[in-house]
Structure 1
Amino acid sequence: MATSAPPSLLTSPASTKPKHYLPPRPLLSSKQSVNHSRAVATNATSRRELVTTMLTAGLIASQLQPVSPALAESDEEYVKETSEVISKVRNTITMDKKDPNVAEAVSELREISNYWVAKYRREKSLLGRPSFRDMYSALNAVSGHYISFGPTAPIPAKRKQRILEEMDTAEKALLRGR
């Protein structure tokens, strides 16, 4: 019986290390090499100093900026919009339960209160204010009632009294700038 030869490889085996092409470095004399190294080091140092100087200047400038007028405008806007929401809440919860416009008024109140809460709960400067805290609490009570019992269900007297008291304290805090 004849033995056959092993089959030949169609491709050559891949080498274990890939061959990379690196361009040849220019040959520098020892004096040129030292000057080149100094130039690179000086260049790196000057970039580092430049970045450090720019960052320091930016930090100092950010600390020296005066209070922007946008904060004052937003504060006035907050007071105005909060006063409008207070009047809307008072008008809506004191409506007669037989009034045919109650459902529409409650719908408007929910829309206004959702807008107010979404807009001002992100403002860190307002979160500690008594006016914000009382308004948020009152709006939460009103919304919770209408969500649970429907837009035509009258608010119980005890809850209505607490909501109106919170509205009064929020309004007083607004007048004091708090």
Structure 2
Amino acid sequence: MPKLSPSLPPPPPPPQTMASPTLITPATTPKPLPLIKSRHTATAPTAAAAKAALPSAPQPRRREFLSIASASILSAGLISPVVAPALAASDEEYVKETEEVINKVRSTIGMDKNDPSVADAVATLRETSNSWVAKYRREKALLGRASFRDIYSAINAVSGHYISFGPTVPIPAKRRARILEEVETAEKALLRGR
């Protein structure tokens, strides 16, 4: 047999044969595990025994409870009256600010594309429209109004155009006509109080 150098690893062991299934399978069947019993095995006392064991304390009646509860609810309502939310705006303020937005939309859309102040007008319009939307979008009373719906749609169209194409690209004629129509119907609805 040749001599192995000490730096080489030892050769792998010869392959082993698999054990037969009879060697793996136990000869006896496993014993069933004992049942686990809960610690609380005492039987529950009957209702009569429970009543006899407890000292008899006067139980409040449903009628007494309801009268006390309703009195406390009513007195709490009288002490703290309902206050309108802080963000709610008056109707005159809504009309005034909406007319301001309508005028800015009309003047900005009507500007010539070569006018040097177009970018400033678009920036002012976006600022005004963003503050208008932020203020009135959460007002539940205004969401159903025709004026709110139409001016919101017009603002959305104008802002979308200027965001996508920049402040110097004019609004196409079809889109401009639709925006001006929505602004006009919003203004009419404002005059009618809608």
Q: TM-score, normalised by structure 1?
A: 0.67
Q: Which structure 2 residues correspond to residues 1-178 of structure 1 after superposition, within 5 A?
A: 37-38=57-58, 41-42=59-60, 49-56=67-74, 74-178=90-194
Q: Deviations over 1:108-150 (max 9, x none)?
A: 1011111111111111111111000000100010001001100
Point out 4+ residue stretches in structure 1 off by more than 3 angstroms. 41-48, 56-59, 70-73
Which shows bigger deviation, 71-80 or 92-101?
A: 71-80
Measured in 1, the distance between the counterparts of 2:89 and 2:176 equals 33
Q: Tell me by how many angstroms 1:55 deviates.
A: 2.4
115 and 54 in structure 1: CA distance in 2 versus 1, 3 angstrom threshold = same
Q: Which runs of 5+ in 2 are unaligned?
A: 1-54
The CA distance in 2 between the partners of 1:58 and 1:82, in whole Å, is 39
Letter in 1 for 2:143: L
Q: What's the secondary structure of 2:155's corresponding residue?
A: helix
Distance across 1 between alignment mates of 2:167 and 2:120 = 8
Alpha-carbon distance in structure 2 between the residues aligned to 1:98 and 1:73:
39
CA RMSD of aligned residues (A): 3.1
Q: Secondary structure at the match of 2:90?
A: helix
- Structure with the greater alpha carbon radius of gyration: 2
Aligned AA (1:87): N
TM-score by length of 2: 0.62
1:52 partner amino acid: S
Unaligned segments of structure 1, at least 5 residues:
1-32
Structure 2: distance between partners of 1:150 and 1:71: 32
**Alignment: residue pair count:** 138
User: C-alpha separation between the residues in 2 aligned to 1:100 and 1:91?
Assistant: 14
Which is richer in helix? 1
In structure 1, distance between residues paired with 2:175 and 2:62: 70
